[in-house]
Amino acid sequence: MQELQLAGIDVSARQLLVQVRNPQGAIQQLDLPNTEAGHRQLCKLLTQRGRRARACLESTGTYSLDIALAEHPGIELMVVNPRAARDFAKAFLHRSKTDAVDALVLLEFVQRMPFQPWQPPSPERLQLRALARRIGSLTQMSVEEKNRLHATEFGQPLHKDVRKDIQAHLRQLQRRLEKLEESAVDLIWANPELRQALLHLTSIKGIGRLSAILLLAEICVLPKDMTDRQWVAHAGLDPRHHESGSSVHKPQRISRTGNPRLRSALYMPALSAAQHEPNIRAYYQKLLARGKLPMQALVAIMRKLLHSIHAMLRDQVDFDGQKFFALETPTS
């Protein structure tokens, strides 16, 4: 039987901090660049001398490293939710927060917890996610430029050439956004499963084509066996309780540990659906009547909407408002 090496990998924008435990139990720390060359070097080090390896990392980063590891024949990969890793660290009393400690926690996680192998998404799904994330980035640029123009109404006027330049940039951004959206639609329409998922998403009043693309791009790369509650945790929308004895009862908040892009993609659909979809609007009004703040009610809609989307895509059905929140029928 081949010897097995275990590795915990903390991924940052430029660096891979790796803790490796060899079959004899010795731990070695590696510091590698987060580049294609660094990925190849890591794969080589993990499988040297014909060894097999199991590696663990969190699900917050890009998939470039994930795929490099998962496609190597001698490496099994496990990708964990950041909250699971954080709770595991607390259980083992790891109070420090450094890259080296995080990598060590992931090493302990892959050694002690049941191993769940990760399978990379298809190239089409990764391409869709790349397109959608670029759309998100350009949309943010457009918002910033619009804010600059808007700010001049309340402050010092812009020089006319600066104003013209911002307006020209906004027109250019709009053309680029339209082209990227068309590319995303073409990619989705060429894939029957993605096309059907897009149609289900747009069956929700308040979710237009672009919002559906941004949502689908983040959802379609998730493992198919994930539950709706795991989706919520992945989005960082799961509630966090804080109680201690009888004196400390902090307000409940969402964990925010997970995929911020999925949370962002859910925000505008939830806001629009709370205005235009009767059942969701009724649920929103009920939460407000119970004393929830508007943002708390909106987050609750985001969470419940994600549950609904999971069921819709699982069962291949359009949105049913009565299943989201049943409207009271007047009694005669």
Q: Which helix (H) or strand (E) holds 213?
A: helix 209-219
Positions of the chain with pLDDT under 50:
241-249, 330-332
Q: If DSSP codes are grouped into helix, strand and coil, which group holds residue 115? A: coil
Question: What confidence score (pLDDT) does residue 246 get?
Answer: 45
Angle at alpha carbon of residue 42, lines to 40 and 44, rounded to 5°:
70
In the chain, what is the greatest distance between 2 CA atoms, to the nearest angstrom?
79
For the chain, the residue count is: 332
d(CA 181, CA 172): 14
Q: In the structure encoding, which two tokens stand for residue 310, read together?
A: 């999971």
Report CA torsion sign: 82, 254, 94, 35. positive
d(CA 300, CA 310): 16
Q: Which long-range contacts (CB under 8 A, 24 or more apart) does 18-27 make?
A: 18/42, 18/103, 19/100, 19/103, 19/104, 19/106, 19/107, 20/45, 20/46, 20/107, 21/107, 21/111, 23/51, 27/104, 27/107
Question: What confidence score (pLDDT) does residue 155 get?
Answer: 66
The beta strands (E) that lie in 130-217 are given as none
Question: What confidence score (pLDDT) does residue 31 get?
Answer: 93
The beta strands (E) that lie in the chain are given as 4-11, 15-21, 27-33, 52-58, 75-80, 239-244, 248-254
Q: If DSSP codes are grouped into helix, strand and coil, which group holds residue 292? A: coil
User: What's CA 86's distance to the chain center, in Å?
Assistant: 17
The angle that helices 99-112 and 82-91 make with each other, rounded to 10 degrees, is 90
Instruction: Quickly count: other Cβ atoms within 10 Å of residue 163's Cβ.
Output: 14
Burial of 322 (0-12, 13-18, 19+ CB in 10 A): exposed
Phi then psi dihedrals of residue 190, to 5 deg: -80, -10
248: left (phi over 0), alpha (psi -120 to 50) or beta: beta
Over residues 44-67, the pLDDT tens digits come to: 999 988 889 999 988 765 556 777
Question: What confidence score (pLDDT) does residue 69 get?
Answer: 80
Over residues 258-268, the pLDDT tens digits come to: 788 999 999 99
- CB-hemisphere CA count at 13 Å for 126? 10
Angle at alpha carbon of residue 162, lines to 149 and 155, rounded to 5°:
45
Q: Which long-range contacts (CB under 8 A, 24 or more apart) does 28-31 make?
A: 29/100, 29/103
The reply to whether the predicted model has a pTM over 0.95 is no
Phi then psi dihedrals of residue 90, to 5 deg: -65, -40
Question: What confidence score (pLDDT) does residue 257 get?
Answer: 65
Residues ≥6 apart with Cβ < 8 Å to 66: 57, 77, 79, 118, 120
Instruction: Choose among 270, 259, 265, 262: nearest CA to 299.
Output: 270
Does residue 99 contact residue 77 with C-beta atoms inside 8 Å? no
